[in-house]
Structure 1
Amino acid sequence: MKTYFSNEQWAQTYGLYLRNIVFVQEMGVSPSVEFDHLDNYDHPYLLMMDNGLPVGAVRYLQKDSETVHPDSLCVLEEYRNRSIGFRLMLMIEQKALENGCVFSVIRSHTRTIPFYHQLGYSVASEEYIEDGNLYVEMQKSLIPSLV
């Protein structure tokens, strides 16, 4: 498995491809909701590839100079339970640290809360419905002494 961090067209295409499979086809999210104004070359993807096949992705969004917002983490179904999502999140957090971020905030489906708890995230909001799914905001200090 190889990883790539890029905002080039090929990386955007693979990121969108994976989001279409996981969020639109599997979860039933409307394409008009899933694909948004942030789908441009300003926001790179961290991709995991298996022999040239994109199998996992997360979009790198930076909210401000101190806060990263990893977005749209997705892994192909046949590659789940291999720690790919976990590794992608740790790598995106490392990129954020390199860029001066000290906090990470995410939007999580309620069913993925245990996954993000394992990564050190805490629930930071009440549950809310968006695109027909139940979500919460979660947060994490990327520097443990800032907890």
Structure 2
Amino acid sequence: MDILIAETKEQSNDALAVRYKVFVEEQNVPEEEEIDQYEEDAIHFVAYDGGTPAGAGRIRIQDQTVKVERICVLNAYRGKKVGQAIMKKIEETSKERGFNQFLLNAQTHAVPFYKRIGYQVTSGEFMDAGIPHVQMKKRI
């Protein structure tokens, strides 16, 4: 599995296609909420399995904190540590750029995944796009 920072239009489109499949088609998130005004400012990541997009995510820098967003893995690749590989690449890339604080809003079903990689819940439950979430943070 290769995790790349999307540097070409094709890679960016691959990231968006994975996100569309997971969030819009599977989870019924409205497209206008999934694709937002931050797309151009974000750094996008794509997981490839031999050239086939398998997962995606993005980050935005807010002050000295990395806001991790839109982490998703296609159904066929779930349980194969793709999400973990994306998060590792995000954290490594961020650390190389001088950032060590991370913030994300996790769907509640994904909390155990994020806890396993060192994130801690820092809020009560709230709704986002009709899906229950909690805020989580990590410092490396």
| Structure 2 counterparts to residues 117-132 of structure 1, below 5 A | 117-132=115-130
Q: Does residue 87 of structure 2 align to residue 76 of structure 1?
A: no
- What's the counterpart of residue 104 of structure 1? 102
Q: TM-score, normalised by structure 2?
A: 0.95
Aligned equivalents of 2:134, 2:28: Cα separation in 1: 19
User: How many residue pairs align between the two structures?
Assistant: 140
User: Could you tell me how far 1:2 is from its partner in structure 2?
Assistant: 2.0
Tell me the TM-score normalised to structure 1 length: 0.90
What RMSD, in angstroms, separates the aligned Cα atoms of the two structures? 1.1
Q: Which has the larger displacement, 6-15 or 125-134?
A: 6-15
Please tell me whether the aligned partners of residues 11 and 44 of structure 1 are also in contact (alpha carbons under 8 angstroms).
Answer: no
Matched, 1:21 2:21: yes
Give how far 1:6 is off: 2.5
Which amino acid is the alignment partner of residue 103 of structure 1?
Answer: Q
Distance 1:38 1:26, change over 3 A: same
How many percent of aligned residue pairs carry the same amino acid? Answer: 31
Which amino acid in 2 is paired with 1:3?
A: I
Shift of 1:15: 1.0
Q: Is the 8 A contact 1:59 1:71 kept in 2?
A: yes
Shift of 1:60: 2.1
Partner of 1:145: none
Query: What amino acid is aligned across from residue 111 of structure 1 in structure 2?
Result: H
- Once residues 35 and 16 of structure 2 are traced to their aligned partners in structure 1, the CA distance between those partners, rounded to angstroms, is 8
